């Protein structure tokens, strides 16, 4: 599947079927909104219910028959948005989410920030009011009405609106879906007045052709910009590609390989975003890391004379991590600058850019291939890089990863999440769907929901969705599992359970060292033990298969094989692996850099 495919029916349509209502003409404001949601091709609407949008809820069930969009009930609004993030990670497209009044939106905010930072789309429906105070029920309607509800999320959404009539609401849905799905993609929020939803339609609305209001936007660079970039790259002796935020399209993946081979350019990738280049390819430099750069990548950046950034996230920070000022000329393919605002600094440091190609990376790659023309392509001696061998006799994340890799064997796997302790050398990415990136906004707790959404989008593709999450991440968002179980979305979650918010133990250690205070106290206020949480029981309590705790290296293989068999049979399986606290040394080094 590629980011350009049409949404598919993931086979959920037999779940939650309503009794026929016999209604097939719109009678209320919310019926018009429901029609619009269907017209813009939003396949699912992840939601947690609430009276503020009871009108829309009724329209989705009794007017649309709970199809296109189909409801995905979530136990927390944060999961609803995270599921949409995971879905968009795979498909590149928006699904919808609905959150109740101000309180549901407040629950949703962190996940909205994560999806914003991931530059991925979602159409969020919310509600308030009735805006007309005379229509409000005492107390509850008053506490759940806010004058400017969109202000809660305006800093990290592309657009928001509070339409005052069914016609305006229809327009808002069309505009919202169009804006969300247009690069740079992002979340939009449409706040529906409860009064407007519940009011009877005075007269039928004239039909419209939604496609005419959502024209395809293709931002192409000027030929002169492509020519300037091609000249730089053609003349480069040590060109380097920083392959960043790119699509899941296989065609685009192949084009990147062709460009790297045409230029004989090294390629650096990052675990912050999804797989962008085959990590086993002889031109891939080092292994993908999170914030840290592999030493080989630092060397390549310092040695490069021309760097091509394919929407690399944080060029300025990367150069800082590579030792400061970088001599190379920089070509940057990105439309990200169109999204930057004054609220959030997720735009990162201002990078030096000699040629900007203001387009999505794939268009730049195609344009450059064309401009460069055929050339000498060095034979691509694919070198299979060796995976690191775990050492010692303690159950570490490295042993866990190696055993998981062995159990998976030759299956096609999509890693939907990896924990902070992950070592990028321990897994190979050979396809754009092999790895889907992080929560993107640093919002811990996003992992489970994102994984469920990715698994939803992957359902029926033959790919095995695997999420490896920290225990802290899992415990914050674990009720997303229920949604996967209820809607029969197969998923394997492996919890790297170090019984700690360990990342922050390292921070406390750093502070203690800087202040000459006892380092041995770093665990206080961080460890999740006494009692240890029974993660497998949390999974079982929601109808998933819960396995573990696995406490020995020898126990890993059996546990993973049992879990994979369960997922193949259609289940959600969670394996609690009690790992030793600790991160790959390179990660610890980078944290020191960031201090």
Ligand X SMILES: Cc1ncc(C[n+]2csc(CCOP(=O)(O)OP(=O)(O)O)c2C)c(N)n1
Residues that bind ligand X (CB under 6 A): 110, 419-421, 442-445, 470-473, 498, 500-504
Token digits for 420? 């902070």
Which of 367, 472, 548, 549: binder of Mg ion (CB under 5 A)? 472
Which of 77, 198, 434, 471: binder of Mg ion (CB under 5 A)? 471
Residues in the chain: 595
Distances (CA, A) of 579 to 266, 289, 366: 35, 20, 44
Closest separation between CB of residue 469 and Mg ion, Å? 9
Q: Is 422 in the site for Mg ion (CB under 5 A)?
A: no
Sheet containing 159-161: which strands, arranged edge to edge?
Answer: 70-73, 44-47, 96-98, 122-128, 187-193, 159-161
Q: Is 421 in the site for Mg ion (CB under 5 A)?
A: no
Closest separation between CB of residue 195 and ligand X, Å? 35
Beta carbon nearer to ligand X, 378 or 394: 394
Strand duo 187-193 + 122-128: pairing: parallel
Beta carbon nearer to ligand X, 288 or 443: 443
Beta carbon nearer to ligand X, 504 or 561: 504
Residues 501-520 that bind Mg ion (CB under 5 A): 502
Beta carbon nearer to ligand X, 180 or 493: 493
Closest separation between CB of residue 474 and ligand X, Å? 7
Show Cβ contacts of residue 62 under 8 Å, excluding neighbours closer than 6 positions.
18, 21, 23
Beta carbon nearer to Mg ion, 101 or 498: 498
Reported as type and span, the H/E element at residue 575 is strand 572-578
In sequence order, what DSSP letters do the residues of 25-66 get, joined into one string?
S--BHHHHHHHHHHHTT--EEEE---GGGHHHHHIIIIIS-S
d(CA 499, CA 529): 6
Residue nearest to ligand X (CB): 470
Which of ligand X, Mg ion, none does residue 420 bind (CB under 5 to 8 Å by kind)? ligand X
Closest CA to 61 of 71, 51, 49, 75: 71
Token digits for 149? 């509800």
Beta carbon nearer to ligand X, 471 or 571: 471
Closest separation between CB of residue 583 and Mg ion, Å? 10
Beta carbon nearer to ligand X, 423 or 473: 473
Whether the CA torsion 353, 356, 360, 363 is positive or negative: it is negative
d(CA 97, CA 85): 10
Which of ligand X, Mg ion, none does residue 442 bind (CB under 5 to 8 Å by kind)? ligand X
Closest separation between CB of residue 451 and ligand X, Å? 13
Closest separation between CB of residue 496 and Mg ion, Å? 7
**Which residues form the interface with Mg ion (CB under 5 A)?**
470-472, 498, 500, 502
């Amino acid at each position: 599947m590629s980011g350009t495919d049409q949404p598919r029916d993931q086979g959920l349509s037999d779940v939650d079927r309503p009794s026929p209502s016999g209604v097939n003409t719109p009678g209320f404001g919310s019926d018009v909104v429901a029609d619009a949601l269907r017209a813009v091709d939003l396949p699912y609407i992840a939601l947690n219910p609430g009276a503020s949008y009871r009108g829309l809820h009724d329209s989705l069930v009794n007017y649309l028959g709970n199809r296109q969009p189909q409801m995905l009930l979530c136990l927390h609004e944060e999961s609803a948005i995270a599921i949409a993030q995971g879905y968009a990670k795979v498909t590149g497209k928006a699904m919808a989410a609905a959150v109740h009044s101000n309180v549901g939106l407040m629950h949703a905010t962190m996940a909205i920030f994560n999806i914003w930072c991931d530059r991925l789309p979602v159409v969020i429906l919310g509600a308030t009011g009735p805006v007309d105070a005379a229509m409000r029920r005492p107390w509850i309607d008053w506490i759940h009405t806010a004058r400017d509800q969109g202000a809660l999320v305006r800093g990290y959404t592309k657009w928001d609106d509070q339409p005052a009539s069914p016609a305006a609401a229809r327009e808002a849905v069309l505009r919202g879906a169009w804006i969300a799905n247009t690069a740079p993609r992002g979340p939009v929020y449409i706040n529906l007045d409860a009064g407007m939803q519940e009011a009877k339609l005075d007269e039928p609305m004239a039909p419209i052709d939604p496609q005419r209001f959502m024209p395809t936007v293709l931002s192409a660079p000027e030929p002169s910009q492509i020519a300037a970039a091609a000249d730089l790259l053609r003349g480069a002796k040590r060109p380097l590609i920083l392959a960043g935020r790119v699509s899941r399209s296989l065609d685009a993946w192949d084009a990147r390989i062709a460009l790297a081979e045409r230029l004989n350019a090294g390629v650096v990738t990052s675990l912050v975003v999804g797989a962008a280049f085959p990590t086993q390819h002889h031109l891939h430099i080092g292994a993908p890391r999170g914030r840290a750069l592999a030493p080989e990548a630092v060397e390549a950046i310092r040695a490069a004379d021309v760097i091509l950034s394919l929407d690399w996230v944080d060029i300025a920070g990367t150069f800082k991590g590579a030792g400061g000022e970088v001599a190379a000329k920089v070509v940057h393919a990105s439309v990200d600058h169109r999204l930057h605002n004054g609220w959030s600094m997720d735009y990162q440091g201002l990078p030096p850019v000699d040629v900007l190609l203001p387009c999505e990376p794939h268009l730049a790659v195609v344009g450059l291939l064309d401009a460069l023309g055929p050339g000498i392509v060095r034979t691509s001696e694919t070198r299979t890089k060796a995976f690191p061998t775990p050492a010692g006799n303690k159950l570490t994340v490295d042993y866990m990863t190696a055993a998981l890799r062995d159990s998976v064997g030759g299956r096609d796997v999509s890693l939907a999440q990896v924990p902070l302790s992950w070592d990028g050398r321990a897994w190979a990415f050979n396809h754009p769907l092999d790895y889907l990136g992080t929560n993107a906004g640093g919002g811990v707790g996003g992992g489970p929901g994102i994984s469920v959404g990715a698994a939803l989008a992957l359902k029926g593709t033959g790919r095995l969705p695997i999420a490896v999450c920290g225990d802290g991440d899992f415990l914050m968002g674990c009720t997303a599992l229920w949604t996967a179980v209820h809607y029969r979305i197969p998923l394997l979650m492996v919890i790297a359970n170090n019984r700690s918010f360990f990342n922050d133990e390292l921070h406390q250690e750093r502070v203690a060292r800087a202040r000459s205070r006892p380092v041995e106290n770093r665990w206080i206020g961080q460890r999740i033990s006494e009692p240890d949480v029974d993660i497998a029981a949390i999974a079982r309590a929601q109808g998933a298969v819960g396995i573990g705790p696995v406490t020995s290296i020898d126990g890993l293989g059996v546990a993973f094989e049992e879990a994979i068999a369960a997922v193949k049979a259609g289940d959600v399986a969670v394996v609690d692996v009690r790992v030793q606290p600790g991160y790959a040394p390179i990660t610890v080094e980078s944290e020191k850099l960031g201090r």
